[in-house]
Amino acid sequence: MEFIAADLAAYADAHTSPESETLRRLNRDTHAHVLRPRMLSGHIQGRFLAMIAQMIRPRRVLEIGTYTGYSALCLAEGLAPDGRLITLDNNEELADFARSYWQTTPWAAQIELRLGQAAALIPALDEVFDLVFIDADKENYALYYDLVFDKVRPGGFILADNVLWSGKVVQPVKTSDRDTQAVLAFNQKIHHDDRVENVLLPVRDGLLLVRKR
């Protein structure tokens, strides 16, 4: 995920609004106690997610891929007063960990974690979403996009994480590298979808920002 020189990354970090104390502790505890902590959105990406949510002021947000709950908290910062964030994950072991941090924030009652396979949970959602954040298994990104598309309001937004996939999208890849192939196919799918406008941002591991026309 290191796309720019370390000193420039440090400069950007130093000139980005800081994490809240809760997010700082969640960041630290994830790195100390949870496997694959690089999956955490982290400081700069987290502030970007919060900024996007604050600009949109969504009433309904869907997150696909909860992990330890960091990105959900960031997105919740922009919720409308009557807003609600639904986050989906299949890892029951991290559910209590995430909830323990949410409970210490003003958004605890507005965040709902649903456990199970996203492909099975999404069709049952009877909501119209203003913002969707996809950050789960890469092989199913295109499927999740298709499943949520009609549930996003016109003018609504979809964000997808890890779309540069540690730089592998511009490197020769083996056909057996299914995750890289899935990310490449997903990026192409969005870019050629005339129902949307899209910007691929080289933030952390790449964020694809999509607006439904």
Q: Convert the pLDDT of each residue in 105-150 to its tens digit.
A: 999 999 999 999 999 999 999 999 999 999 999 999 999 999 999 9
How do beta strands 152-161 and 207-212 pair?
Answer: antiparallel
Q: What average pLDDT score do residues 199-212 get?
A: 96
Q: Nearest CA to 57 among 151, 125, 157, 198?
A: 157
pLDDT value at position 171? 84
Beta bridge partners of 212: 196
pLDDT in tens, 80-95: 999 999 999 999 999 9
pLDDT value at position 3? 74
pTM: 0.96
Separation in Å, CA 94 to CA 10, 15, 72, 89 = 30, 31, 14, 9
pLDDT in tens, 12-35: 999 999 999 999 999 999 999 999
Q: Nearest CA to 66 among 106, 33, 96?
A: 96
Q: What average pLDDT score do residues 91-107 get?
A: 97
- Reading the block at residue 44, the tokens are 């700069």
pLDDT value at position 210? 98
State the maximum Cα–Cα separation within the chain, in Å, rounded to a whole number: 48
pLDDT value at position 38? 87
pLDDT in tens, 152-203: 999 999 999 999 999 889 886 655 689 999 999 999 999 999 999 999 999 9
Could you give the domains of the chain? Answer: 6-212 (3.40.50.150)
- Whether 63 and 89 have beta carbons less than 8 Å apart is answered as no
Separation in Å, CA 115 to CA 86, 149, 198 = 11, 21, 30
pLDDT in tens, 45-76: 999 999 999 999 999 999 999 999 999 999 99
